[in-house]
A and B are shown apart, each in its own frame.
Chain A
Amino acid sequence: MSKNELEKLVSLQDLDLMIGEAKEVEKLGFNMNGYDELIKAREKLAQDIPKPLLARYERLRAKLKRAVVPVKDDICLGCFLRQPTSRGSRGREESLIFTCESCGRILYWLD
């Protein structure tokens, strides 16, 4: 099943985190000889995201470090502002891209 745009952003951020933590994980004894392959995978995934959305992701990432944040119990875990309940049901079912009205981050509903 192909991913929707929100899922692609989640995967992109997961990849960015993995790339950023690779050195620390390597120190624990894990093999990291595919680092260059992972960078290529990141580039490929980024190309599959519409340019305006990717640009928004990169801006948020540069400014706030985390561009996509989870929402749990209707709370944005980026800034801890409560989100309207009505947004949650739409965010979960339709995977629409919502941003937090307080911090501007892109929201991913966990539950």
Chain B
Amino acid sequence: METHELALYFDENLFISDMKARNKEESLQELSELIASQRYIRNPGLILDMLHQRETLGSTGIGKGVAIPHGRTVAASDVVIAFGKSEKGIDYNSIDNKPAQLFFMVIAPFHDEKNIYLPILGSLVTFLNQKKNRERISQVTSFDEFISIIRGE
């Protein structure tokens, strides 16, 4: 998947420029509740439970200030990515032990017929491995600015 194609899976209503969360648990709750509030999922508790299990497998804090909590579940109807930014940074038990500031929550349905979940994760990792992309994303204050960067504009 080309990086600019990621733009299809973001939504202005799933964008937080200044997260309220102060710790890892609150960050997972804040983003999963946002996804539920937009009716992408019916039961936020099931999504949160799945995300907790995923963190048991290994932290989704991939380092350099980035966290990509993710998973597939029967309880989701579509692939969505919620984005949140924390100015102060949050202790996320990341692999480099540094606070996470950029959060990309990827939720996909169990019946991922187009098989796009893993390519989305791969493209996100590739995109965020580039320092200039992380720096630009960390400066955004609006969804329009954000999505322009994702589109490679």
Contact = CB atoms under 8 A, between A and B. Distances in A.
A21 B118 CA distance: 9
A72 B74 CA distance: 11
Nearest to B118: A24
B50 A14 contact: yes
Contact of B118 (A28, A77, A108): A28
B59 A31 contact: yes
Interface residues of A, number: 36
Given A11-B50, A13-B110, A41-B53, A30 B74 contact: no
Contacts, number: 96
A96 to B, nearest CB: 15
A108 B53 contact: no
B53 A14 contact: yes
Contacts of A77: 111
Interface of A: 1, 3, 7, 10-11, 13-15, 17-18, 21-22, 24-25, 28-35, 37-38, 41, 66, 68-70, 72, 77, 92, 108-111
